[in-house]
Chain A
């Protein structure tokens, strides 16, 4: 079940696809002391999903996806801290629009290039955003970060509580909507044409596809999702710092996606779970060396589990089935 989409793929929901949601709800009841880590994981799943859409499906190589994550977080944060707009859904909508527009605008410029040039340009845009956030201290708080952000109760009813219960369910719901849209997109004719562009741009041109326009469109949508993810993390922490924007967080995201598996939707679910839980546990056990553990994990995956943890599962299942017959 690699979820490649396309005209030969059955698009109906398989039972395995309910697992993440069952586990997500179960975790809410069974692991109440881990809800803030849980919400963080859910945010990064949404973020990874947005990256998978452009990297795994459309084949756009980027190290600058944190630009949209950060812009979403800052826009929502500035609304809450400086403009007195505390409504979380309004903040989310503003973040989505801002990040989506930035994605369309920058995409229109940089998606005329490919390969390493494109990679460098995505880095450049992230660095620009980072520098702007660093310098515009009156708006962003600069290197100290933006705090004192007001986030009102959702719909005026559900207050963000100290234990992170509201935050967790809120993020889970938004992730569900994001997942639904991404899945629809991937199985659509548009999604099929994205994989076509990943597989062979020259041929897509030759069959008359408007390659550039479609890449810009999907880049904008992906940026929008990343912006929503950024705003969600801001709302659950009520803080935004420069680390939201830096290209380190783009790299970290890429590691998560590779760990889980690129271009298969659920790799974006598995990766952040593995990465952030490992980070949490390793940081407790070896506060100074936890990054080493992450590194070893990544090396192991790249050496022995090409295609990520999910591909490993697929191969194991395949072997088991063959052994059974």
Chain B
């Protein structure tokens, strides 16, 4: 078996008597388009926070490209190619769209610690940031304050920042959250065009989006993996239907 882009083994998280993640074995293949679904409170966000290093697991291991990162800080994981977006917009609101992306690009290029040359003269950073904005059809909004952009575009900036990091593994935490259903296709268009070498794990409630985007789906309930399979297998699975459509059906 080849090395997984991201892998967890026996990952657990307990808060006192409450178990929010239980023995999660998970593999994200290189270049994957993988979705993580589950009802509210299933522990999806907890899982993501453990992957990124915001939350320390109680036990178990996390491997990034085969390397054990379980004890590493967020920064060290980012440096090894782990990027994420947030379910709730986590942007630099009063800065321009360009600056939002540039802050990420500057960290990756290790330009950010520079003290004496001006930021605007860092052409590598500016060019690469503009290229990312262009990729997401945001080039015209580069100089706009992010807080002034319409919500749908703010969601795209959320993705743009992550792309500025040029991640090998990208965790998309509900990229379409709060976007009206008529406009989710725009988010999906963007997701479809993401470079195929990035391994993507998407956490999403919108089932249309999940079934159109993902080639594998993992279902999480009550902190544990219920099942994993292709979209066809998952949509045929009776247990998944029960979890999603209510216990009585």
Residues of A within 8 A of B (CB): 4-11, 184-185, 187-193, 195-196, 199-200, 202-210, 214
Contacts and interface: CB of A to CB of B under 8 A. Distances in A.
Given A7-B122, A203-B91, 13 more contacts: A4-B94, A11-B118, A187-B118, A188-B114, A189-B117, A189-B122, A199-B94, A200-B93, A203-B86, A203-B161, A205-B75, A207-B103, A208-B75
Given A189-B122, A190-B112, A190-B115, A199 B161 contact: no
Contact of B98 (A8, A191, A196): A8
Contacts of B108: 207-208
Contacts of A207: 78, 103-104, 107-108, 161, 164-165
A202 B107 contact: no
B121 interface: yes
A206 B112 contact: no
Which of A189, A191, A193, A208 has the largest number of chain B CB atoms within 10 A?
Answer: A189
B179 to A, nearest CB: 19
B107 A7 contact: no
The 5 closest A-B pairs by CB, nearest first: A208-B78, A11-B118, A199-B92, A7-B102, A207-B104
A129 to B, nearest CB: 28
Contact of B126 (A7, A11, A191, A208): A7
Nearest to B102: A7
B224 interface: no
B125 A185 contact: no
Contacts of A202: 86, 90
Given A188-B118, A193-B112, A6 B78 contact: no
Contacts of B95: 4, 6, 195-196, 199
Contacts, number: 125
B135 interface: no
Interface string B120-151: 11100110010000000000001100000000
The A contact surface, by secondary structure, is helix
23 contacts: A4-B95, A7-B103, A7-B106, A7-B129, A8-B98, A8-B142, A188-B115, A188-B118, A189-B117, A190-B114, A192-B103, A199-B95, A200-B91, A200-B93, A203-B91, A203-B161, A205-B74, A206-B52, A206-B90, A207-B103, A208-B107, A208-B165, A214-B113
Nearest to A187: B118
A191 B111 CA distance: 11
Contacts of B99: 6-8, 192, 195-196
Contacts of B75: 205, 208-210
B56 to A, nearest CB: 14
Nearest to A210: B75
Contacts of A208: 74-75, 78-79, 107-108, 165
Nearest to A195: B95
A193 B78 contact: no
Contacts of A193: 103, 106-107, 112
Nearest to A263: B94
B55 to A, nearest CB: 13
Nearest to B113: A190
A6 B96 contact: yes
Contact of A192 (B119, B164, B165): B119
Contact of A196 (B79, B86, B103, B111): B103
Contacts of B161: 203, 207
Nearest to A10: B120
A259 to B, nearest CB: 21
A202 B90 CA distance: 7
